[in-house]
Amino acid sequence: MFDLAALVAASFFAALSGAVVPGPVFVVVVSESLKKGSKAGPIIVLGHLLIEAIIIGAVFFGLDTLLGSNQTTIYINYLGGIIFLIMGIYLMNVARTLKGDMVSEGSRKLATRGLVAAGFLSSGSNPQFYLWWLATGVPTIAVALSSAGIPGFIAFLFGHAAADLVWFSFISWSVSKGKNYLNPRAIRFILIGSATFLLLFGISLFLSATSLLP
């Protein structure tokens, strides 16, 4: 039991080390929580966990080598660049057309599918997401399986999912509550900052992919 608890804790903190670093998922959680409230974060995490399930499945089929190849990195960078540019332009347009009633308590409408897709795309389009899995996630799975077998693997999944859910739910709740003290101008400023981050990140992915071309 202690070994499983230790694996849960190790998986939790390993996942937390990646989650707390501000990136596209963090930006999307902040921007969507401003518009749709504290429930946005946990729903976005569902999309994030969905692509992580695909990654874990790929690891068992030996596709981690493919994920680490130079050619795959180039494709991911280009695709990620396109997606982040689209997301940045969309968010910039939201900020431009923002009105006070759009962020009021009574106007929140959760588009669950859209939030799940946002979590999926913001994670899967980020090359650093795959680097984290290759450098940290896969070795942690190997340790869990070698030390406790299937129960160890389940402990890994539980700890990892808990870290993502706890962290981004906290961020979403904090942003949603803090929004009550922000006027539309301040919220617009935050959204523009988030959109700028996504646009610059998308451009950097294009430049990175170009630099990797033979």
For 194-204, the pLDDT digits (tens) are 889 989 988 99
Among 192, 172, 178, residue whose Cα is nearest residue 25: 172
CA distances 73 to 47, 196, 205, 211, Å, are 21, 23, 10, 11
Q: How many domains does the chain have?
A: 1
Q: Residue 97 burial (CB < 10 Å; 0-12/13-18/19+)? A: exposed
Within a 10 A sphere around the Cβ of 114, how many other Cβ atoms? 15
- Would the CA dihedral through 143, 144, 145, 146 be positive or negative? positive
- Tens digits of per-residue pLDDT, 108-136? 456 678 899 999 999 988 888 888 888 88
Q: Are 105 and 46 in contact (CB under 8 A)?
A: no
Phi, psi of 37 (to 5 degrees): 95, -175
How far CA 201 is from CA of 56, 80, 105, 197, in Å, comes to 25, 9, 31, 6
Contact 174, 40 (CB under 8 A): no
CB 32 within 8 A of CB 191: no
Contacts of residue 194, Cβ cutoff 8 Å, sequence gap at least 6: 27, 28, 30, 31, 91
Least confident of 13-27, 106-120, 131-145: 106-120
Nearest alpha-carbon partner for 123 in 110, 132, 111: 132
pTM: 0.81
Q: 150-201 pLDDT, tens per residue?
A: 999 999 999 999 999 999 999 999 998 887 776 777 778 888 888 899 899 8
Q: Taking CA 33 as the corner, what is the angle to CA 28 and CA 36, rounded to the nearest 5 degrees?
A: 120
Of 151 and 18, the one with more pLDDT: 151
Domain range for 109 is 2-212
Q: What is the DSSP letter of 137?
A: I
Cβ(33)–Cβ(200) under 8 Å?
Answer: no
**Tens-digit pLDDT profile for residues 58-109:** 888 877 676 667 888 888 888 888 988 998 898 888 788 766 544 444 444 5
Give the model's pLDDT for residue 46.
95
